[in-house]
Amino acid sequence: MSNNVVIIVADEVPVGTLLAVAKRAGTDVKAVVAGSRALADTVAAGGVASVAWIDVPEATPAEAFASTVAEAVKALEPGVVLAPNAAASRVLTGAVAAELDAAVASSVSNVAFEGDVKVVDRLVAEQRAVETLETTAPVVALVADGSDDVEATAAAPVEAVAEGAVAALTITATHAGEEGGASLASANRVLGVGRGLTSKDQLALAEALAAALDAEIACSLSLCDDYRWFEHSRVVGTSTQRIAPRLYVSVGISGQPQHMTGVRGAKTIVAINNDPEAPIFRACAYGIVGDLNKVVPALTEALS
């Protein structure tokens, strides 16, 4: 594989940061867009060299066109493939990584080439630290949540991929799923937990408080992707879902922008964190600085 940089766009999400990271990594960035022609034209005007466009009807599951995207990306012989951290993109990057036998990274903020080595910076610890990875293998990465800012340039050519790119899907079985997304969207009270929780015992404390509040449980992305404590339908943030409860209580959440965007619609935010400098205290109506092992049970008892 070469040092070519390819981006994948299949979600209606901000792509300013995605394009910025891609341009820093390579001079000629090529794009594979799966979605509407309007989406392809938006990406084409963002400073890429070319766009391979796969016309995908609205509400089509990403699994139906994942193989087509993977083949289109492989044909461009990329060294690095970047995509936004969004629902369809997570499916597509999995297919691309399998096709390329690539290394995979998430929350990526920068990529550079040093000869045959790809140097990847990714945000960790609630975006408060940077981890640097090096590999000679192709890299497929989800870029850290970003902005709408796109530097307008002359539009790149858009080439449509051949018809029949979307595979027909057949339902072979159904089962009851986790209803977190629907219940969070309509909940009057939500309790969110973050990486400040370090054990399942602490999670049990938070769940008891949620029960006392008659609140739904939500989480930051790290508790889903890193800890595997929750289904993705419970994640609140820029690239997942945004909620607007009357009351949002956060436990062990620092308040990074990608999460706070998801709770911006809450009428009242109450924050519990042991770090008095946590950004969430600048966005909440009420804040409690203290050890969650003491604060959370005390609140639960007071409400019971």
* Residue among 269, 264, 270, 178 nearest 224 (CA): 178
| pLDDT class of 103 with cuts at 50, 70, 90 | confident
Amino acid symbol at 213: L
Map tokens 């309790």 to a residue.
191
Burial class (CB in 10 A: 0-12, 13-18, 19+), 238: buried
Q: Under 8 Å CB-to-CB from 218, ≥6 apart: which residues?
A: 180, 184, 190, 191, 192, 193, 234, 235, 236, 243
Alpha carbons 242 and 266: distance in angstroms, whole number: 9
Distance separating alpha carbons of residues 228 and 234, to the nearest angstrom = 11
Q: Quote the pLDDT of residue 74.
A: 96
180-303 and 4-160 share a CATH fold: yes
Segment among 192-206, 228-242, 282-296 with least mean pLDDT? 228-242
Q: How confident is the model at residue 120 (pLDDT cuts 50, 70, 90)?
A: very high
What pLDDT is recorded for position 148? 61
Query: What pLDDT does 256 receive?
Result: 87
Tell me the one-letter amino acid at 200.
Answer: K
Tokens of 160: 């449509």
Task: Read off the DSSP letter of residue 62.
Answer: G
Topology of domain 180-303, CATH: Rossmann fold (3.40.50)
Query: Is residue 40 scored above 70 in pLDDT?
Result: yes
pLDDT, mean of residues 203-226: 93
| Nearest one of 168, 156, 152, 270 to 210, comparing CA atoms | 270
Query: Angle 87-100/66-75 helices, nearest 10 degrees?
Result: 50
User: What's the confidence (pLDDT) of residue 175?
Assistant: 55
* Percent of residues, the chain, with pLDDT higher than 70: 89
| Residue-wise pLDDT tens digits, 257-277 | 888 888 988 999 999 999 999
SS (H, E, C) 9-50: ECCCCCCHHHHHHHHHHCCCEEEEEEECHHHHHHHHCCCCCE
In the prediction, which pLDDT does 58 show?
85
The DSSP 8-state label assigned to residue 145 in this structure reads: P
Task: Compute the mean pLDDT over every residue in the chain, rounded to the nearest whole number.
Answer: 88
Lowest mean pLDDT among 26-40, 97-111, 130-144, 230-244: 230-244
Output the pLDDT for position 56.
92
Beta bridge partners of 229: none
pLDDT at 141 > cutoff 60: yes
Domain boundaries, the chain: 4-160, 180-303
Of the two residues 222 and 268, the one the predictor is more confident about is 268
Which tokens belong to 169? 């899907």
End-to-end Cα distance, the chain = 61
Q: Is the pLDDT of residue 149 over 70?
A: no
| Tokens matching residue 167 | 């595979």
Residue 81 pairs in a beta bridge with 6, 140
Six-digit token pair at 246? 């009357």
Phi and psi, residue 24, nearest 5°: -65, -30
**Mean per-residue pLDDT for 233-260?**
89
- Give the lowest-confidence range in 85-99, 173-187, 285-299: 173-187
Nearest residue to 108 via CA among 199, 46, 17, 172: 17
The DSSP result for 172-237, as a single string, is: --------HHHHHHH-SEEEEE-TT--SHHHHHHHHHHHHHHT-EEEE-HHHHHTS--S-GGGB-S
3-state secondary structure of 161: coil
Q: Which residues does 198 contact at the CB level (< 8 Å), separation at least 6?
A: none
**Is 258 within 8 Å of 230 (Cβ atoms)?**
no
In CATH, which superfamily holds the domain spanning 4-160?
A: HUPs (3.40.50.620)
Query: What value does the mean pLDDT take over residues 295-301?
Result: 96
* CA 272 – CA 288 distance, rounded (Å): 5
Give residue-wise pLDDT tens across range 159-201. 998 654 676 666 676 655 555 455 888 899 999 999 999 998 9
pLDDT value, residue 209: 96
Percentage of the chain beyond pLDDT 90 is 62
Confidence (pLDDT) at 178: 52
